[in-house]
Amino acid sequence: MANESLKAKQEAYAAKVEKAVAKNPERINLPKMRLATPLDIEGFDYEKDLGFPGEYPFTRGVQPTMYRGRFWTMRMYAGFSTAEESNKRYRYLLESGGTGLSCAFDLPTQIGLDSDDPKAEGEIGKVGVAIDSLADMEILFDKIDLGKVSTSMTINAPASVLLAMYIAVAEKQGVSADKLNGTIQNDILKEYAARGTYIFPPKPSMRLITNIFEYCSKNVPHWNTISISGYHIREAGSTASQEIAFTIADGIAYCEAAIKAGLNVDDFAGRLSFFWNAHNNVLEEVAKFRASRRVWAKVMKERFGATNPKSWMLRVHTQTAGSMLTAQQPDNNVVRVALQTAAAVMGGTQSLHTNSKDEALALPTEDSVRVALRTQQIVAEESGLADTVDPLGGSYYVEYLTNKIEAECWDYIKKIDELGGAVVAIEKGYIQREIQDSAYKWQMEVEKKERIIVGVNKYQIKEKPPEGLLRVDASVGDFQKGKLAKMKAGRDQAAVAAKLAALETACKDEHANLMPLILDAVKVYATLGEICGVMRKVFGEYQPHVSL
Amino acid sequence: MEKRIRVLVAKPGLDGHDRGAKVVARALRDAGFEVIYTGIRLTPEQIAEAALQEDVNVVALSLLSGAHNTLFPRIVEIMKQKGIKDVLTIGGGVIPDADIPGLKAAGIAEVFTPGTPTEKIIEFIKANVK
């Protein structure tokens, strides 16, 4: 038997190595797997475990030829200050070869507050662009053809309102909703667990999400209605397995909510999309992408009985890990981002944002954003990594890791099922605690130098303070408030009051789909804060679980 | 027995990035401090009130949204108005070097930026707590 012979030889190798290691120990904190062989993927069945790209279980990718036809979408997340400033940055990115837009909104916008709300003080335009009403959205997409570009919007609790504004701007440009391409993040569960921009409690939040699924399946059929996000879970400190496990558990909760609301799984599942983090450990990341596709395909086919192959596919946007950027020796971040990009591409992502080297210090300058975009273009055009499908498939180590991450993922899904699903697991603080524990363990490893971060706990140098960082002008807040006051003075107040009243009535009827009413309200220039205010009044606000 | 140092770890502003705040809170607790963590999205008024109610020796603020120049000084100001004295206030987050002198002038004793070992924060508190 071939395996018997291999087994004997592997044992001999292990014995020899153990003796050598006793004399010259290996480095600390290494993974257990020293050398993977066919014995470590016993029972490996090519057809069942990998199959072909574009086919179940999609381990090797969701498209038959992957990047041989066209590269992933190079989508740079951007937005700061005012709609006027961000519009300039978007047009610059598109002129530089970016192939999709990705909007960052400021925190008041993300939690449904207008710029004139006292809680918005100091935050206006800081981490993204401030949007108070349709008037700002018209400026944000000025001279950008929404029929041609695809736009991703990082917006969650008020996703319905921003999507409605996007549809309204497109309509004014003469582009009908069925021609629109893009994504809203719309993933409230990870906001409770890791990212923090929640507004309403889980029940009405899940209703808003299923309202969007239903509305878009009929009216905006090419829109990705949710981007179920592991990115922020990883940024909060989770491991690779936890990232995909908690996210897929969230995905299961969304599917269950939509099915419970009466939707047919194959009517919405094809528009679900995911969002992964591309972290530092290249091989582990590649395995994570592959494992996540295999798990999701099984969940959709076996658990939910989806029959359309599109429903089985885990399509994913990726961002390189912001938390791995160092404030020390920031030029080194260019190299980190290049390796993370390589991982995302070998993992088979559908779109990618690369971070800029200065982002541990501030929002990126135009020059550093260009290097980040060029990094993707170099990987695409020069590295050869995009020239064959799933280039690491069949590597003993990568297949072993893919199996291992998949198994860990199923363990977590089982545990979360036993707790009563992702919503309950979050309400009980289980997922938050798991993430926190991993984050603390990581930090202690760094402090004990069991984990090396170049420039942070090894190879440090004396540095001058960095120069040329982007600063958001402090006058942005006043400018935005002035614009808002002027807009409010010029609009049809009676129409605003009527549309908001209609929305309030609909909020109280749990069978009503709120999307058409929100669209009516944004079209008469009701503000984001006013619309979310109506929903806050009816739905209440989420009270977080705080634990250490 | 000597009274244990009480620390309020607080997140003002609207950002939800609480990884750093939680890691620091746990490290301080493991170092023997009594730690109260507020959770995210607190107003300056809420933080000053919590500092008063919890009778803390240290207020540790974490903010990653860029609103530190507005919010950190306001928290110090409101604590003063409430008659809170002898509290060591420190801050951390994505804070450009250029902003640090201004924050110190406004009453923030020290600002810890990305990559700081928790040990350094612990030492600073022990050396400077009033």
CA distance A79 to A121: 18
A 188-207 residues inside an 8 A Cβ radius of B = 191, 194-197
Q: Which residues lie closer than 8 Å to A458 by C-beta, 6 or more apart?
A: A449, A452
> Phi and psi of A464, rounded to 5°?
-80, 155
Do residue B17 and residue A196 have CB atoms under 8 angstroms apart?
A: yes
Do residue A548 and residue B39 have CB atoms under 8 angstroms apart?
A: no
Residue in chain B lying closest to A448 (CA) = B117
Residue B62 sits in a domain whose CATH number is 3.40.50.280
- Minimum-distance CB partner of B15 among A107, A453, A469: A107
pLDDT at A275 over 80: yes
Domains located in chain A, CATH noted:
46-65+167-447 (3.20.20.240)
The tokens for A299 are 């969940």
pLDDT band at A79 (very low <50, low <70, confident <90, very high): confident
- Written as one string, the DSSP assignment of A10-50 is HHHHHHHHHHHHHHSPPPSS--S-SS--GGGGTT--IIIII
pLDDT value of position A410:
98
| Cβ of residue B19 closer than 8 Å to a chain A Cβ | yes
Is the Cβ–Cβ distance between A332 and A460 less than 8 Å?
Answer: no
Is the Cβ–Cβ distance between A370 and A310 less than 8 Å?
Answer: no
pLDDT at A2 over 80: no
Compute the average pLDDT of residues B74-97. 96
CA distance A280 to chain B (A): 16
CA distance A75 to A319: 9
Alpha helices for A24-146 (secondary structure H): 83-95, 107-110, 134-140
Specify burial of residue A271 (Cβ count, 10 A radius: 0-12, 13-18, 19+).
Answer: buried
| Cβ of residue A323 closer than 8 Å to a chain B Cβ | yes
Q: Which residues lie closer than 8 Å to B107 by C-beta, 6 or more apart?
A: B73, B76, B80, B89
- Minimum-distance CB partner of B118 among A327, A447, A471: A447
Sign of CA dihedral B66, A533, A484, A212: positive
pLDDT at B30 over 60: yes
CA distance B12 to B43: 6
CA distance A3 to A41: 12
Compute the average pLDDT of residues B34-59. 97
Compute the average pLDDT of residues A178-207. 97
| Cβ of residue B99 closer than 8 Å to a chain A Cβ | no
Q: Chain B partners of A541 at a C-beta cutoff of 8 Å?
A: none
| Count of domains for chain B | 1
Is the Cβ–Cβ distance between A355 and A319 less than 8 Å?
Answer: yes
Compute the average pLDDT of residues B5-23. 96
Question: Which residue shows structure tokens 């707590």?
Answer: B129
Q: Chain A partners of B29 at a C-beta cutoff of 8 Å?
A: 548
Instruction: Give me the amino acid identity at A268.
Output: F
Q: Residue B61 forms beta bridges with which residues?
A: B10, B91
Pairing of strands B58-63, B6-10: parallel
pLDDT value of position A441:
98
The tokens for A52 are 């072909």
Residue at B74 is within a domain: yes
pLDDT value of position B1:
53
| Cβ of residue A361 closer than 8 Å to a chain B Cβ | yes
pLDDT band at A14 (very low <50, low <70, confident <90, very high): very high
pLDDT value of position A62:
98
pLDDT value of position A78:
87
In this prediction, what percent of chain B has a pLDDT beyond 90?
94
Least Cα distance to A14 among A42, A41, A43, A36 occurs for A36
In this prediction the pTM is 0.96
Q: What is the DSSP letter of A192?
A: I
A 240-279 residues inside an 8 A Cβ radius of B = none
pLDDT value of position B77:
97
pLDDT value of position A545:
82
Is the Cβ–Cβ distance between A472 and A102 less than 8 Å?
Answer: no
Residue at B33 is within a domain: yes
CA distance A334 to A510: 49
Q: Which domain holds residue B53?
A: 6-128
CA distance A441 to chain B (A): 9
CA distance A283 to A294: 17
- Minimum-distance CB partner of B19 among A236, A456, A474: A236
Instruction: For A442-454, write each residue's pLDDT tens digit.
Output: 999 999 999 999 9
Instruction: For A326-345, write each residue's pLDDT tens digit.
Output: 999 999 999 999 999 999 99
Residue at B67 is within a domain: yes
Q: How many Å is the Cα radius of gyration of chain B?
A: 13
Residue at B50 is within a domain: yes
The tokens for A408 are 């860990």
Convert A325-391 into a string of H (helix), E (strand) and C (coil): CCCCCCCHHHHHHHHHHHHHHHHCCCEEECCCCCCCCCCCCHHHHHHHHHHHHHHHHCCCCCCCCCC
Instruction: For A92-133, write each residue's pLDDT tens digit.
Output: 989 988 778 999 999 999 999 999 999 999 999 999 999 999
Cis peptide upstream of residue B73 (ω within 30 degrees of 0)? no
- Minimum-distance CB partner of A548 among B17, B37, B118: B37
| Cβ of residue A452 closer than 8 Å to a chain B Cβ | no
Instruction: For A462-520, write each residue's pLDDT tens digit.
Output: 998 888 888 888 899 999 999 999 999 999 999 999 999 999 999 999 999 999 999 99
Is the Cβ–Cβ distance between A432 and A544 less than 8 Å?
Answer: no
Strand order in the sheet with A181-184: A223-224, A181-184, A150-153, A100-103, A73-78, A351-353, A316-320, A272-278, A226-229
Average pLDDT, rounded, for chain A: 96
Compute the average pLDDT of residues A222-234. 97
Cis peptide upstream of residue B12 (ω within 30 degrees of 0)? no
CA distance A401 to A422: 25
pLDDT band at A145 (very low <50, low <70, confident <90, very high): very high
Q: Chain A partners of B113 at a C-beta cutoff of 8 Å?
A: 327
Compute the average pLDDT of residues B73-101. 96
pLDDT band at A362 (very low <50, low <70, confident <90, very high): confident
CA distance A535 to A134: 18
Is the Cβ–Cβ distance between A465 and B97 less than 8 Å?
Answer: yes
Residue at B44 is within a domain: yes
pLDDT at B2 over 80: no
Do residue B114 and residue A327 have CB atoms under 8 angstroms apart?
A: yes
Residue at B20 is within a domain: yes
pLDDT at A3 over 90: no
Residue at B86 is within a domain: yes
| Cβ of residue A362 closer than 8 Å to a chain B Cβ | yes
Task: Give the three-state DSSP class for A394.
Answer: coil
Exposure on the CB side of residue B40, measured as CA atoms within 13 A: 27
A–B interface: beta-carbon pairs under 8 A = 99
Least Cα distance to A356 among A337, A377, A340 occurs for A337
pLDDT value of position A11:
95
